[in-house]
Structure 1
Amino acid sequence: MTKKWTTAVAALGLALGLAAAGSAQAQATAAAAPAAAGHAATHQLPPHRPGAAPSVITGPLLNHGGPVQTAPQIYVDYWGWGSDPSGEQPYLNRFLSNVGTTPWLDTVNQYGAGANPVLAGTWSDPAGLPANPSDAQIQAEAVNAANHFGTGTSVNVQVVVATPTGHSTPGFGTQWCAYHGAVAALPNVTYTDLPYMSDAGSACGAGSVTGSALDGVSIVEGHELAETITDPLLNAWIDAGGNEIGDKCAWSGLSTIPTAGGSFAVQPLWSNAANGCVLGTNNPNLLSAPTFEQNITGWQRLVPQGGIVNWVNYNTAAGAPAPAHDGTGYLAFNTNIGGGSVFQDVPVNIGPGGVYQATVWLSSQSGAASGTFCLWGLGSSNTNSCVAYNVNSATGYQFFQVVYHVPQQISTLRFQVYPTVNGGTTDMDTAGLVRIG
């Protein structure tokens, strides 16, 4: 990977792009120190090159004494949007509304920052914009948004200037995917230049986790969100090579995280405590094939004697009777016998006191479907936490979760869904199982 620092009058932050080939040591040492006071430097990661595997940049983040965001407030300015062919606006709103309560973002807490950011407001500014707005124009629009929202000048304020399809600052997709910095005209207020991510395709993450064009939206904005929280004015938590919390893990170990608003693709964040890249303070998703993207490895059917459990792993790209929740894959199943179910076993070998959260999105193939969703602890005796579900194809996927407190030594966790006997076909997508305590 090659990094390049260039001086700029605008107070730009660290830009996010795809990692190119090269060792972690080269990545960490290629960046120079920030420019002199009164200027800042753009910090660019070049686009991914075919066959180049991203590398983790080792070494701790260092506290340079600047402020962090302890109560982040996120404002999104959709500047001049006339169309949204990929559906990025609702996806971004949903991500920012739910990511603050996740173990993934809790990683920032060890740096004295606050997770739980609030999507404090969105604005669709109808004003026109240039085909390729400059950074100065992005900053001016951030000022317009701050005035519109009445944000004041707290360091906790993040203004995300989201530009529509076909309108991006020069360098998008070839030199960077997004960047953040401080608004020159509003001391302490931070901004993010967030172009229409799917315009850049796989260079900025489209299809990189679930197969969805929207993957890059949450990967890139998640990167910028965490970096702005821990290094809002570019003088707080940075490593010896000038890398922030997201840069050190950029494009490596991509995965999905469960939230109350659905599953989202993200990159890991650097944890000094773990001395590595983590997907959360409480472990990653323990399930195999949680999004059913043409793969159901680890999933099984429980079929009591004399009964039937039908199941099909559908791919909407190849034709399916119903939509998926994320990506193109989902698992549909039904049964004609009590106890018939779909499950996955996860070995854990843990004693009393552990806490796990299981999450899933459920819908119906057609009409109504119902059943019970459980997380079991299997050991010398078996215990569970369950919730009933009633879903309908007319209303689409609904989110369900159960929390299981381990009461005794167990060897296995079982994620299990029991459809009601002859109670319709259940569609399942975006499953998650994480340890939360």
Structure 2
Amino acid sequence: MRTIRPATLARLTAVLALGATALGATALAPGAEANPAPTAHRHSGVKPLKRTADRRARATSANTLSVQSSGSQGVVSPNPQVYLVFWGSQWSNDPAGVAPDMQSMFSGLYGSQDTWGTILDQYCEGVPTGTTDCAGGGTPVSHPTSSPLAGVWFDNSAAAPDSAAASDLAAEASNAAAHFGNTTQAPNLNAQYVILSPTGTHPDGFPDSGFCAWHDQTSSSYGTLAYTNMPYIPDSGAGACTTFTDGRLLSGIESTETHEYAETVTDFWPSTGWNGGGGEIGDECQNMDAYVTLSTGTFDLQGLWSNSADNCVTQG
């Protein structure tokens, strides 16, 4: 989950109260994982790093990510598939152009031009708890050779709630699984449902709950689902939820969604996947953004933690 520092939160709240559409430059700082709602993305604490005889030994830092569960499913998403759900009839009004932007970004997030996504393929599932280096073991994340965007749904059957609860967002994820025909657990072992709320709404209390977005899991008739709560971040103005201060309105939602995408891929059903001293792969690097040019345009992609580099990086 991406958090907002208190000073920024106060400014965003003031902006919304005044009905403004612009905000001065702000920056996010790394921080402890927050729990925005009883069912929202959460950590009960990071398990200690453990050495195992069949893993390559190497020095690790406090931020090194390690596997929290030895399960063979739900730890990572080996073949990422993204389903964008534009929730509510209010999407007929999209002043910042979020819908085309999100589709363009994921349409280009693959192949040799996407050097950012290659950071993820060092992480895997089906290895012992505490593993910090897959070293050829387990099932790794595969870098997509074609767009990971598996489906787009404008759910305009009704208006999205003004202030959706976490349970409402989880229910919409279940609706999306049904809509896309993912009605058994098997396809939902790689599917992530990004629930994008329309302008003027406040899903799970955004922005007053102190987050830019979060991801979680929910039980459904179709198995366990991975989903993201993605608010309409441009409502908070340029500079919100990104480190860039150039006034580009879409940078914040691009940075935040790539943060949540990478965390979902590497901690598919929180928190069975990869976590470290500073949280998940995106939490550890909230002060790093880079403009990356894909085949579909240039986008603000947030830096990610790389165990192999022992640092935050923006390309693998």
CA contact (8 A) 1:61 1:237 kept: yes
In 1, the alpha carbon distance for the partners of 2:119 and 2:6 equals 26
Q: 1:253-296 deviations in whole A, cap 9, x for unaligned?
A: 32201100111012210000000000101xxxxxxxxxxxxxxx
In 1, the alpha carbon distance for the partners of 2:63 and 2:165 equals 34
Shift of 1:106: 0.7
The answer to whether structure 1 residue 197 and structure 2 residue 233 are counterparts is: yes
Q: 1:363-389 deviations in whole A, cap 9, x for unaligned?
A: xxxxxxxxxxxxxxxxxxxxxxxxxxx
Match of 1:211 among 233, 240, 247: 247
* Structure 1 residues 103 and 20: CA distance shift in structure 2, 3 A: farther
Q: Which runs of 5+ in 2 are unaligned?
A: 8-28, 44-60, 124-139
In 1, the alpha carbon distance for the partners of 2:238 and 2:6 equals 14
Q: 1:133-180 deviations in whole A, cap 9, x for unaligned?
A: 111111111111110111233210111111100112133123101111
Match in the other structure for 1:223: 259
What is the TM-score normalised by the length of structure 2?
Answer: 0.70
Match of 1:90 among 100, 124, 148: 100
Aligned residues: percent identity?
A: 35
The SS at the match of 1:232 is: coil
Q: Report the aligned-residue RMSD.
A: 2.7
Match in the other structure for 1:118: 148
Match of 2:312 among 266, 277, 281: 277
Match in the other structure for 1:268: 303
Q: Which amino acid aligns with 1:159?
A: Y
The answer to whether structure 1 residue 105 and structure 2 residue 105 are counterparts is: no
Match in the other structure for 1:256: 291
The SS at the match of 1:248 is: helix
Match in the other structure for 1:59: 63
Q: Which runs of 5+ in 1 are unaligned?
A: 1-14, 44-56, 282-437
Shift of 1:39: 6.8
* Structure 1 residues 170 and 31: CA distance shift in structure 2, 3 A: closer
CA contact (8 A) 1:74 1:121 kept: yes
In 2, the alpha carbon distance for the partners of 1:165 and 1:229 equals 27
Shift of 1:27: 6.3
Match of 1:181 among 185, 201, 216: 216
Give the ranges of 4+ consecutive aligned residues of structure 1 lying more than 6 Å apart after TM superposition: none
In 1, the alpha carbon distance for the partners of 2:166 and 2:292 equals 32
The answer to whether structure 1 residue 236 and structure 2 residue 273 are counterparts is: yes
In 2, the alpha carbon distance for the partners of 1:255 and 1:264 equals 8
In 1, the alpha carbon distance for the partners of 2:290 and 2:263 equals 18
CA contact (8 A) 1:218 1:264 kept: yes
In 2, the alpha carbon distance for the partners of 1:32 and 1:118 equals 28
Alignment coverage as a number of residue pairs: 243
In 2, the alpha carbon distance for the partners of 1:169 and 1:41 equals 14
The SS at the match of 2:204 is: coil
In 1, the alpha carbon distance for the partners of 2:39 and 2:170 equals 15
Q: Which has the higher helix share?
A: 2
* Structure 1 residues 131 and 260: CA distance shift in structure 2, 3 A: same
In 2, the alpha carbon distance for the partners of 1:63 and 1:195 equals 29
Shift of 1:16: 1.2
In 2, the alpha carbon distance for the partners of 1:115 and 1:132 equals 36
CA contact (8 A) 2:163 2:205 kept: no
